[in-house]
Amino acid sequence: MAPRQAPAKDKLIGAAVKVVREKGFNATSVDDLCREAGVTKGAFFHHFPTKVDLGIAAAEAWKLHANELFGGAPFMAAEDPLDRILGYLEFRRDMLDGPIGEFTCLVGTMVQESYDTLPALREACQDSIWGHALTLVDDIEAARVRHGVTGDWTAESLALHTQGVLQGAFILAKAADDPRAARDTADHLIRSEGRRKIPHVLHQFHHRQRSQLWRRIYRPAARSACAVQIHL
């Protein structure tokens, strides 16, 4: 029996994830997206009235998949919430490898082009970035209490700061055309948040495997961007 084909809608979302990260939102045409997804323009406009509508759907899919990926990663098994936070940051750092278009952030790319001209897309990107950042809040607050950390800041503000630094790391990598610029920034972030020994379970998940997993999850067209099953 031939393998089941992903629906055209899912193929288009997957295509948006890939092509927009490579070319940018404005430079990506409907023709580009249809070509990558292997669907007709008729199929495109059947599911998405405009390219912006596809961008909004892709932003939502990006958030859901990122949260699933990180929520099921090995570092989440650590007992100490600080180890979970640092494990998350090392996980993010180790993904910064290979072609920049394969590890950069979809919603960070789109919002830089849309914040003043496409309010609906900007809001979708904000929801995606904020929604992922807020998954860190409980562990940050638990680590703060457990380790007696005080200060005039909130767990939410630190979670958003973390995402701000990572988004900036993507920009540096693009500007330098070199992923090392992003990895250096991520290393500084790890040090600034109190580097400790990461649990053994994290080291069992080698950085190359993490990078390959990330690229496989977000490699579009080959599978549905809405139906990816993440196996760690």
Residue-range domain boundaries for the chain = 56-218
Tens digits of residue pLDDT in 35-62: 999 999 999 999 999 999 999 999 999 9
**Distance from C-alpha of 89 to C-alpha of 193, rounded to nearest angstrom:** 9
Contacts of residues 19-28 at CB distance under 8 Å and 24 or more positions apart, as own/partner, are 19/220, 20/55, 20/58, 20/106, 20/109, 20/110, 21/101, 21/102, 21/104, 21/105, 21/106, 21/109, 22/101, 24/109, 24/113, 25/51, 25/55, 25/109, 25/110, 25/113, 25/114, 25/121, 26/113
Please name the residues in contact with 27: beta carbons below 8 A apart, sequence gap of 6 or more: none
The token duo for 177 is 């055309």
Asked if residue 62 lies in contact with residue 130, where contact means CB atoms within 8 angstroms, the answer is no
CATH of domain 56-218: 1.10.357
Confidence of residue 4 (pLDDT cuts 50, 70, 90): low
Q: Output the pLDDT for position 203.
A: 38
pTM of the predicted structure, to 2 decimals: 0.79
Tens digits of residue pLDDT in 106-158: 999 999 999 999 999 999 999 999 999 999 999 999 999 999 988 899 999 99
Q: Output the pLDDT for position 5.
A: 61
Q: Which residue has the tokens 């977000």?
A: 218
Asked if residue 109 lies in contact with residue 62, where contact means CB atoms within 8 angstroms, the answer is no
